[in-house]
């Protein structure tokens, strides 16, 4: 199941996101979206988890939590 993580701090790394989500299940893929011109984070990422149960657990636990002074939003990617 693919999740969209928004409102990330520009300093948050892909490894930090992977670690955060892996506490709620196995992370098969994590893609932090970067600006091609600057190479800096655009403030959102996609995380893939193999089961719906793990993905929903991550959404329940992480949606609206504060990470690096930002309140992140987590939802199922469209």
Q: Which domain holds residue 54?
A: 2-76
Instruction: Count CB-CB contacts under 10 A for residue 30.
Output: 21
At 60-71, the pLDDT tens digits run 999 999 998 999
SS3 8: coil
| Model pLDDT, residue 36 | 93
pLDDT at 73: 98
Instruction: Convert the pLDDT of each residue in 10-53 to its tens digit.
Output: 999 999 999 999 999 999 999 999 999 999 999 999 999 999 99
What does the pLDDT read at residue 55?
97
Q: What is the pLDDT of residue 2?
A: 98
pLDDT at 32 (0 to 100) = 97
Count of domains observed in the chain: 1
Q: Which of 71-75's residues contact partners 24+ apart within 8 Å by CB, and which partners?
A: 71/7, 72/5, 72/6, 72/7, 72/8, 73/5, 73/6, 73/7, 74/3, 74/4, 74/5, 74/6, 75/3, 75/4
Q: Check which CATH number belongs to the domain holding 64 and give it.
A: 3.30.70.330
H or E stretch at 55:
helix 52-62
């Amino acid at each position: 199941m693919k999740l969209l993580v928004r409102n990330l701090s520009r300093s948050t790394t892909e490894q930090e996101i992977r670690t955060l989500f892996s506490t709620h299940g196995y992370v098969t893929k994590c893609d932090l979206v970067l600006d091609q011109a600057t190479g800096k984070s655009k403030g959102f990422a996609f995380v893939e988890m193999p089961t719906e149960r793990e993905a929903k657990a991550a959404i329940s636990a992480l949606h609206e939590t504060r990470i690096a002074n930002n309140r992140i939003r987590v939802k199922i990617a469209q």
